[in-house]
Structure formats: C-alpha cells, structure tokens
Structure 1
Amino acid sequence: MVRGIRGAITVSANDSRLMEEATKRLMEEMIAQNNIDPQTVCSAFLSATNDLDAMFPAKVLREQNGWEYVPVMCMQELAIKGGLERCIRIMMHVNTDVAQKDIQHVYLEGASVLRPDLQQSTN
C-alpha cells in the first residue's frame, strides 16, 4: 500500500548551505522515524516558499546513497498571505504496510506550527 509521509522545516535565511543542511536534516528525520528504505519510495515532492531560491532542495535527496532512482520533483509552495516563511516541505510516497495513523510526520523548527495535531516529532 502507498502512504504519504509529510515533513517540513524552516530555515533562517535564503542561503544554499542552510537550505541544504535543513533539507538533509528533515529527510534524515523522516527516514529514521518511519524506517524508510529508498527502494520502497515511489516518489518525493519537495517544495520551498518563494523566499527560498538559493538552491533546489530536491538535489539533496538525489545525492543520497540509494536515492538515485527515486523520482523527485521540486516546486514552489503557494505564496499565501500570512503563510509560513522560509519553509521547505517534503511529501514522500512510500510502499508500506504501516497503518495511516502510525505514519510519523515530521515538522521541525518553525514548521511545527503547520500541523500541531500531528506533533509526534521533536524539534
């Protein structure tokens, strides 16, 4: 069965190094909390808010060992007035037998405000 696993993290500035570190931290936390093997990942969508344009966050996933063949797509998050700024989001589609309610969604740093109802992770 395919399940979606969500994650988000904020960065302090539009800086490629900060964005890369944040994306890697978020990805590693999502993988660890959900025991993800890249062979089970159907695809991953990554988005960044329009104030983050220093690098493509999807590049981080592509560079990880075992993730070379996972289809990834980078896109810009909708620019909604009052929306969270400097935010990178990941949606992974994973083949798993884990029940929907047991999926561990990961919201780090300022992104923890996005889904307080799913706060199963720590900052």
Structure 2
Amino acid sequence: MLTPNDRIVVNVVHFAANRRTWNLAVRGLDGQLKYEAKREIIPPLELDRSYVFELEVRGRFVDVRVANTFETVEAPRAAGLVGDRGVWGQFKKGKAPAGELFHFETVWARVDGERTAPVPHPDGHS
C-alpha cells in the first residue's frame, strides 16, 4: 500500500497479487476499496522461481509490472495518494492450498528522485 499520511486505512493505493491474479485498488476518504483493475496472470506464476512486481504511481496513472507483463491503469483516485509512506506484507485470507502463497525475499521502495532502498519486513527479514 502507498499513502501520503499515517492513516493507512484510508487514502491508500493498494496492490495485491497471487500466483494467478493481481489487482489494483484505491481506498479513499470514504473507506471504500474501489478496484481499478483486476487481471489474470496467464500462465500462472510458477513455484520456486523469482519474480519482480513493480508499482509506479504517476498522477492518475499507475504502471503495474507483474513478472514479464506491463500495464498502465488509469486510476483517477490514485492522484495525490503517493507520499513517503508504504506498507507491505503477506496476506492470507482463509486457508490457501499448499503451494499457493508467495515468499517475499526483498521489497524495495523509492520516493521519486531518491535512491532505492530495501524495506525491512516487520519480522526482521529484508
């Protein structure tokens, strides 16, 4: 999630992915999560491989790179919601079948014009 303030429950750009799908949503001041894009990943991502997921917000447009695919999504509600705060984590809704969950090795964050830097996982991983 990307946000310009400490209120991460509202005013966020939210990206989520699993082996088969990715989605981009924006949660505004009303607290409602509005999906801007939902896409299938064809073929599904393989286990035991490394993949890069990248999200870049440029005003009302969001560039999404998932594995070897690229798409620009028009998301007017995203404009103004990027700042120096980001939150990431692994999310498991219900009980996922074995082999469905990703293991994140490193997350990198960059504020426009600054060097990239790894963002540590809350459990101490990078």
TM-score (structure 1 length as normaliser): 0.33
Which structure: greater helix fraction? 1
Which structure: greater strand fraction? 2
Which one has more relative contact order, counting CA pairs under 8 Å at least 6 apart? 1
